[in-house]
Amino acid sequence: MRLSYSLIVTVAILAFGALAPVIFKTQPYVLYVLTLALCYAIPVVGVNLLYGYTGLVSLGHMGFAGIGAYTTALLMKSAGMPFLPALLIGAIASGGVGLLVGIPCLRLRSHFFIVVTLAVGMILYTLFNNLDSITGGAEGLPGIPRPQRFSLGSWNMEFRSVSGFYTLTFIVTALVFGLQTLLVRSDFGRSLSSVRQDEALASARGVNVFAHKLTAFALSAAIAGVGGAMKVLFLRAAAPLSFELQESINLIVMLIVGGAGYLIGPLVGAIGFIALPEFLRAAAELRLVFFGFVLLVIARLAPRGICGTVELLFRKLSGKDASVVRHS
Amino acid sequence: MSAILEVSGVSKRFGGIRAVDGATFSLQCPGIFGLIGPNGAGKTTMFDIICGRHVPDSGEVRFHAERINGVAPYRLAREGLARTFQECRVLPDETCMDNVLFAAQDKRLGREMLQAVSRGTAARRNTGAEARRLLRLINLERYADQPAGALSYGQRRLLEIVSCLMSKPRILLLDEPASGINPTLLNTLRDFLIEIYRETKIVFLIVEHNMEFIMSLASEIVVMHQGRVLAQGAPEQIQSDKSVIDAYLGQS
């Protein structure tokens, strides 16, 4: 039953996403905002893998996104590399940095680990801001080229226009969500979940807790790198401010509001955080006030986020599992 | 032939407390073994040492002649050493079925990654059928799709034991399986353990305070007292052993 519902939701989201350029043909602004939201949804998927499934909080994930972003941007701008290999190398670079950072950091527990990830994020930001010869310092890297047009026989796709780039971002986001689903629904996902629920039990059952955490951390950093790369390609400029601490915290906020540990939680959170305030025409400063309030309400009344609340309502309405007490 | 499990001269201290103090015993052949002793005798610490959770200060533990003290718990689990916890641990968010399947899955990272790509196989269906059979044996089949956190304490204990069995262990350590289980469920548990032993012929080592339960179940009993092994033998022999009676009644 539930599987078929989630299938319907998935198909509906995919159909809407694919048709969005047609639906909003006359409103490029809507497509612009949606693209930006998707650029955030990707790193939130990374955070979801780490926090929602493995139970680790990282406050430095936009730093890893920055590694992927600058790598991709430099490869495309200076080396003239095509989009796809540049994006993959960017992801590998951020994943590699995640791996190296994870080896010492993951030996720490709970809040010590969080503090260290915070520091890592700040260090990465400082590097982006000060390595003038590579990253362009505070001015950033302007003039990053958009991906080349893609031709298959007589069929052409260009990524220069807003709708063209939206389609590209949509495809990348769909692939990232596909990867997330694949990982989470596998034995690997179950092991990660066991690490979140009970580390002692997981290791007594044969899970190499450290190796699993490290893999999850590296994967999540790599996914964040993809998101960062898409963001700078979209904005056509890489600036350190895109990857500062506040942005990392925003990722966590998006995930918690959307629903940590739900496959579509990152999408709900990113659209809620980026797109809704734009349409409500709230100013940037007011948005933070608004979201501080929303976060407070969510934490108090709906700790499992929007997705969790919807699931709960749905269960109550269908009268199913009324007696099941959640022990989480 | 070497013993299946051999503990020799194992000591472990926490600060000033000698939790285990030169304990020595060995399990020579498959069977159901009981490990008993008054509170604080060092039984659970002994378990934690055998399973790799604690590293002993001295002495050694051998499993099929291979030295295993100091080996990480997850490696021992993969070698066929399964345990339950005194405080009873299951994955509360997963369904009972997923709990059991989780125990059965190959947890090497490479294999898990392969599985993520290759998905369902015949082996997986067989595992599912076996999981269902075991859940039926302990009357948990109708809760298969409920989260394990919703079960009663006793049911969670049974689920924990079944999960351990699914990993096809060569030795199974049960830490107080009967505690918190009502008398009816206790009979289910006894029948279940005897049935499983007949089927698998592996080593069961059971820490237990419920004397009636353990004496009727085990073929051999190891008694610990103040960190040492006091006696080892058949249940009748242990029940009439003077030093054991003294240890329990507090004259020494």
Interval A48-55 mean pLDDT: 94
Give the whole-angstrom CA distance, residue A149 versus residue A156: 7
Min Cα separation A87/chain B (Å): 22
- Point out the residue among A189, A204, A211 whose CB comes nearest to the CB of B77: A204
The DSSP secondary-structure symbol of A52 reads: I
Using an 8 Å CB-CB cutoff, list chain A residues near B109. 188, 208, 211-212, 215
- A211–chain B Cβ distance below 8 A for any pair: yes
Q: pLDDT at position A328, please?
A: 35
Instruction: Give backbone dihedrals phi and psi of B177, rounded to 5 degrees, phi first.
Output: -65, -25
Query: pLDDT per residue over A54-63, tens digit each?
Result: 999 999 999 9
The b-or-e profile of B197-217 (16+ CB within 10 A means b, else e) is beeeebbbbbbbebeebbbeb
The pLDDT > 70 percentage for chain A reads 94
- Interchain CB distance below 8 Å, A200 and B102: no
Query: pLDDT per residue over B85-99, tens digit each?
Result: 988 899 998 999 999
Q: How confident is the model at residue A181 (pLDDT cuts 50, 70, 90)?
A: very high
Q: pLDDT at position B251, please?
A: 61
Q: pLDDT at position B60, please?
A: 92
Query: In terms of pLDDT, which residue wins out, A65 or A7?
Result: A65
Nearest CA in chain A to B85: A201
Q: With a CB-CB cutoff of 8 Å, which residues 213-232 of chain A face chain B?
A: 215
Query: pLDDT per residue over A266-285, tens digit each?
Result: 999 999 888 877 776 666 66
Q: pLDDT at position A138, please?
A: 84
List, run by run, the mean pLDDT of 10-residue segments along chain B (252 residues). 86 90 91 90 91 92 90 92 90 91 88 80 80 88 90 89 91 90 86 90 92 91 91 90 83 56
Q: With a CB-CB cutoff of 8 Å, which residues 24-83 of chain B face chain A?
A: 51, 53, 72-74, 77-78, 82-83
Interval A238-246 mean pLDDT: 90
Q: pLDDT at position B121, please?
A: 67
Q: pLDDT at position A141, please?
A: 87
Q: Sign of dihedral through CA atoms B207, B194, B135, B199?
A: positive
Using an 8 Å CB-CB cutoff, list chain B residues near A216. none
Q: For chain B, give the longest Cα–Cα distance.
A: 63
Interval A167-183 mean pLDDT: 94
Name residue A169's amino acid.
Answer: T
Instruction: Give backbone dihedrals phi and psi of B15, rounded to 5 degrees, phi first.
Output: 60, -125
Query: pLDDT per residue over A70-126, tens digit each?
Result: 999 999 998 888 999 999 999 999 999 999 999 999 998 878 999 999 999 999 999
Q: Sign of dihedral through CA atoms B45, B51, B52, B53?
A: negative
- Interchain CB distance below 8 Å, B117 and A323: no
- B180–chain A Cβ distance below 8 A for any pair: no
Cβ neighbours of residue A40 under 8 Å, at least 6 residues apart?
Answer: A227, A231, A250, A251, A254, A270, A273, A274
Best of A3, A180, A187, A315 to substitute, by most chain B Cβ atoms within 10 angstroms, is: A187
Element holding A61 (H helix, E strand): helix A61-77
Q: With a CB-CB cutoff of 8 Å, which residues 303-322 of chain A face chain B?
A: 321
- Point out the residue among B89, B106, B167 whose CB comes nearest to the CB of A201: B89
- A3–chain B Cβ distance below 8 A for any pair: no
Q: Is the model's pLDDT at A153 over the cut of 80? A: no
Query: pLDDT per residue over A18-47, tens digit each?
Result: 888 888 888 888 899 999 999 999 999 999
Q: pLDDT at position A2, please?
A: 52
Predicted complex ipTM exceeds 0.90: no
Nearest CA in chain B to A321: B146
Using an 8 Å CB-CB cutoff, list chain B residues near A206. 74, 77-78, 107, 167
